[in-house]
C-alpha cells in the first residue's frame, strides 16, 4: 500500500463540517446545572453563532505540513503542540520557520495569521520563494472566520506583485 504516512488536512470542508462548528459542547443536562449567569453567556454565544455562521476555516500548519511545490516543514518553533491520531506530537509552525525541499533548498514562512495570533502559520501561508502551505497532518487546531468578521491587515496578507524577502 502506497498511502501517506499520516492523513493530511486542507482548508476545504463540507457544509456539514461548517454546521458542526456551531454545535454546543454541553448537553442539555449539563446546561441545566449551570448558574443563570453562565447560561446567559452561552445563550449569547449561541445567538452570535446563529447570526454569524462560519464562512471559512484555516488549519494551523505544523511539522509535517506540505507545500504545493514539495517542501515539508520539518522543525517548527512554536510552543503550541498537537497530538496526532497516531500519538505523535507536532509543533505549530510560525513565521520564519522553514520548509525543506527534496533537493535541499529551503524557504521561510512569511505570511501567517498575524501578530494577534502569535504569527502562527496556516494552510494557505506563503513562503519566501512564492510557494504555499497546502496541508497539515493535524485536524484539531483551526482558525474559524464567521460572517461579518473583519480580518486584521496582517492575516495572510497578499504577496501578489511583491518581492518577498
Q: How confident is the model at residue 83 (pLDDT cuts 50, 70, 90)?
A: very high
Vertex 126, ends 121 and 128: CA angle to 5°?
110
Residues 6 or more apart whose CB falls under 8 angstroms from that of 87 comprise none
- At 59, is the secondary structure helix, strand, or coil? strand
pLDDT tens-digit readout, 51-74: 999 999 999 999 999 999 999 999
Task: State the DSSP H helix or E strand holding residue 145, giving kind and residue range, or none if neither.
Answer: strand 142-146
pLDDT at 38 over 90: yes
pLDDT tens-digit readout, 105-153: 999 999 999 999 999 999 999 999 999 999 999 999 999 999 999 999 9
pLDDT, residue 1, reads 36
CATH 2.60.40 fits 56-157, yes or no: no
Domain ranges of the chain: 15-51, 56-157
pLDDT at 161 over 60: no
Amino acid at each position: 500500500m502506497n498511502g501517506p504516512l499520516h492523513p493530511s488536512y486542507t482548508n476545504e470542508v463540507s457544509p456539514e463540517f461548517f454546521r458542526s462548528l456551531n454545535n454546543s459542547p454541553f448537553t442539555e443536562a449539563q446546561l441545566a446545572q449551570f448558574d443563570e449567569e453562565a447560561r446567559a453567556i452561552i445563550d449569547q454565544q449561541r445567538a452570535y453563532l446563529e447570526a454569524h455562521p462560519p464562512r471559512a476555516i484555516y488549519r494551523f500548519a505544523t511539522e509535517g505540513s506540505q507545500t504545493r511545490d514539495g517542501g515539508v516543514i520539518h522543525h517548527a518553533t512554536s510552543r503550541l503542540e498537537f497530538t496526532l491520531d497516531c500519538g505523535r506530537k507536532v509543533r505549530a509552525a510560525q513565521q520564519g520557520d522553514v520548509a525543506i525541499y527534496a533537493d535541499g533548498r529551503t524557504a521561510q514562512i512569511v505570511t501567517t495569521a498575524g501578530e494577534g495570533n502569535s504569527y502562527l502559520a496556516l494552510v494557505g501561508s506563503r513562503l519566501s520563494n512564492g510557494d504555499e502551505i497546502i496541508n497539515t497532518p493535524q485536524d484539531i487546531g483551526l482558525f474559524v472566520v464567521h460572517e461579518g468578521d473583519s480580518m486584521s491587515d496582517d492575516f495572510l496578507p497578499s504577496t501578489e506583485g511583491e518581492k518577498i524577502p
